[in-house]
Amino acid sequence: MEHTRAKWGSNFGFLMAAIGSAVGLGNIWGFPYKMGANGGFAFLLLYLLLAAFVGFAVMLGELALGRKSGRGPVGTYALLSKRFKWVGWMGVLSGFFIMAFYTVLGGYCIKYMVLNIGDMFGAGFGSGAFADAGALFGAFITNPLEGVIYTVIFLAITMVIVMGGIKGGIENFSKIAMPALFVMLVITIIRSVTLPGAVEGLIFMFKPNFKPIQENFMQVLAVAGGQMFFSLSLGMGCMMTYGSYLSKKENLEKNSILIIVADTIVAILAGVAVLPAAFALGGEGAAMAGPSLLFVTLQNVFGAMGAIGPFFGFLFYLLVLIAAVTSAISLVEVATTFFLDRAELKGKKNASRKKYTLLVSIVMLALATIVAVDGLGSNGLPTPLGLIWIDFFDLWSEGVMMPLGAMLMALFIGYEYRVKKVENGVTMDGMLLEGEVTESGYRFRSRGFFDVCCKVIVPIAMAFILLVQIDGFFGLGIF
């Protein structure tokens, strides 16, 4: 049976979608703070080393495997190795877990856009009734119904885009959204760095400080590694899925590098947009990671800006929303592709993308509802493993399944896939692993490097990250 697969319209479109997947909440609320708290420039250096020696190989490996098989992670492993099939399943499951909290946070962005619109017109749904942004956020997260409603809106936007298909939905949206995001980011940066006292934020982020690295190198390494992974959308078959829709004539090495470079640049720019503002109005101690930075500190900044504040607030939360949507669609696509692949393998004639996307979205909504109702642990829900729900889903996906998935993929490429290929005498040129010249006609320049990464560096790095996670969680005190 001829395997005809949907395709990206152009390499640029693919890049916008892939960079869109990579650029997300991880860049905006994770990276700047982690960089500042863990050594500034010294952390950045470490991050870049990890991206080069671990991120690049995993990115290239995922794109290449996906393009080779023309399927998502489950289909890819099923096709290439029965033994590894469960790794594909784990990837799809991770996608559901990430979406369980990602959609809730995306919903928060919509809520804050609405709030700032309210403030523009002095309307009742603005922030007027609250003493400060802390009180406002507290009231919002302790209102489960509101949290669920905004989660539904976020998920509905995501779903509609994925229903539009690879080219008609995801690519077309990303081609407009990503450049727009960049423009909004630049405007936000200009406003942020011209606030009085802004320099402090830049110093916090960039000042080289080797103390954290000297004191607790292992911990810093694990933070940088985990951040790099999540930020690049690696370890669960997301890039494998996007790669499966890419034409055989595109250069995967170049694309891998472009995605990594673009994601890193946006992470740094996000820091320049966020931290100076946080420091300008919050002073020392204002910079915090996660929800409080985004929804308390920064909302306070907009509140203190005067008449123009709500405008910048709206622009900023729209920016974050776009970043989150282009990431969420890639997560929904992984699960949708899984069903489409399966339908095709079963020879189903009338498989409907729309139907599968709807099904996937409903399951994700069910999981996300728990997180939304939990309201960052403020509504007294039971705590699984002693964690609040957002952390529970994050621990299993980002903390366990993704490093494990990446490690096993590297081992698979480095050892099993090679061996099998030689045994069967098949040519795997589409995979970028055979010979010097790939099917796309590009020379495989990084072949030796890629090989060492898959065989040695990536497995060791991932095993290490897993160990630090387990150590931290059970309080073993090894590191």
Least Å distance between CB 329 and ligand TRP?
9
Of 195 and 240, CB closest to ligand TRP: 240
The yes or no reply on residue 230 touching ligand TRP (CB under 6 A) is: yes
| Range 446-455, long-range pairs (CB < 8 A, 24+ positions) | 446/56, 446/60, 446/253, 449/57, 450/57, 450/60, 450/61, 451/414, 453/53, 453/54, 453/56, 453/57, 453/410, 454/57, 454/61, 454/410, 454/411, 454/413, 454/414, 455/410, 455/414, 455/415
The residue within the footprint of ligand TRP, chosen from 15, 19, 25, 161 (CB under 6 A), is 25
Instruction: Give the CA distances from residue 53 to residues 57, 58, 173, 259, in Å, rounded to whole numbers and listed in that order.
Output: 7, 9, 32, 15
SS3 content of the chain, % helix, strand, coil (to 5): 75, 0, 25
Query: Is there binding between residue 277 and ligand TRP (CB under 6 A)?
Result: no
Residue 333 or 374 with smaller CB distance to ligand TRP: 333
Distance of alpha carbon 14 from alpha carbon 425, whole angstroms: 32
Of 80, 93, 211, 105, the closest CA to residue 158 belongs to 105
Stretch that binds ligand TRP, among 62-70, 226-234, 288-296, 306-314 (CB under 6 A): 226-234
Query: Any contact of residue 331 with ligand TRP (CB under 6 A)?
Result: yes
Q: Which is nearer to ligand TRP, 90 or 305 (CB)?
A: 90
For residues 438-457, which are near ligand TRP according to CB under 6 A?
none
Shortest separation between residue 292's beta carbon and ligand TRP, angstroms: 18
Region for 417 from its dihedrals, namely left if φ exceeds 0, alpha if ψ lies in -120 to 50, beta otherwise: alpha
Smallest distance from ligand TRP to CB 118, Å: 27
Q: Segment contacting ligand TRP (CB under 6 A): 23-31, 197-205, 447-455, 459-467?
A: 23-31
Terminal alpha carbon distance of the chain: 53
Within a 13 Å sphere around the CA of 20, how many CA atoms are in the beta-carbon half? 31
Distance CA 219, CA 196 (A): 34
Among residues 18, 19, 27, 200, the one that binds ligand TRP under rule CB under 6 A: 27
Q: Interface mask (CB under 6 A) for ligand TRP, residues 125-164, using x and -? A: ----------------------------------------
Query: Stretches 18-26, 55-63, 165-173, 423-431: which one binds ligand TRP (CB under 6 A)?
Result: 18-26
Give the pair of three-digit tokens for residue 211: 């103390």
Q: Which stretch binds ligand TRP (CB under 6 A): 20-28, 35-43, 68-76, 305-313?
A: 20-28
**Among residues 15, 100, 166, 236, the one that binds ligand TRP under rule CB under 6 A:** 236
Q: Residue 269 Cβ, how far from ligand TRP at the closest point, in Å?
A: 14
> How many angstroms separate the Cα of 100 from the Cα of each of 95, 295, 384, 402?
9, 19, 15, 15
AA identity, residue 115:
L
Of 98, 344, 112, which is closest to residue 230 (Cα–Cα)? 98
231 touching ligand TRP, by CB under 6 A: yes
* Cα 297 versus chain centre, distance: 23
Q: Does 244 bind ligand TRP (CB under 6 A)?
A: no
d(CA 50, CA 153): 36
Q: How far is CA 11 from CA 15, 21, 246, 254, 259, in A?
A: 6, 15, 8, 11, 12
Residue 1 amino acid letter: M
238 forms part of the interface with ligand TRP (CB under 6 A): yes
Unique residue bearing structure tokens 């109005």? 281
Window 360-419: residues binding ligand TRP (CB under 6 A): none
Q: Is 330 in the site for ligand TRP (CB under 6 A)?
A: yes
Span from 17-25, 183-191, 359-367, 459-467 in contact with ligand TRP (CB under 6 A) = 17-25
**Candidates 79-87, 172-180, 233-241, 301-309 — which segment interacts with ligand TRP by CB under 6 A?**
233-241
Figure out which of the listed residues 8, 13, 15, 26 binds ligand TRP, where binding follows CB under 6 A.
Answer: 26
Stretch that binds ligand TRP, among 167-175, 232-240, 247-255, 404-412 (CB under 6 A): 232-240
Number of residues engaging ligand TRP in binding (CB under 6 A): 15
157 with 329: CB under 8 angstroms?
no
Binding segment (CB under 6 A) for ligand TRP, from list 24-32, 67-75, 250-258, 451-459: 24-32
Minimum CB distance to ligand TRP smaller for 24 or for 414: 24
| Residue 107 Cβ vs ligand TRP, minimum distance, rounded to whole Å | 15
Q: In 3D, which of 224, 200, 320, 209 has the Cα closest to residue 272? A: 200
Q: Does 21 bind ligand TRP (CB under 6 A)?
A: yes
> Which parts of 60-99 interact with ligand TRP (CB under 6 A)?
98
Among 8, 13, 14, 24, binds ligand TRP (CB under 6 A): 24
| Interface residue list for ligand TRP (CB under 6 A) | 21-22, 24-27, 98, 230-231, 233, 236, 238, 327, 330-331
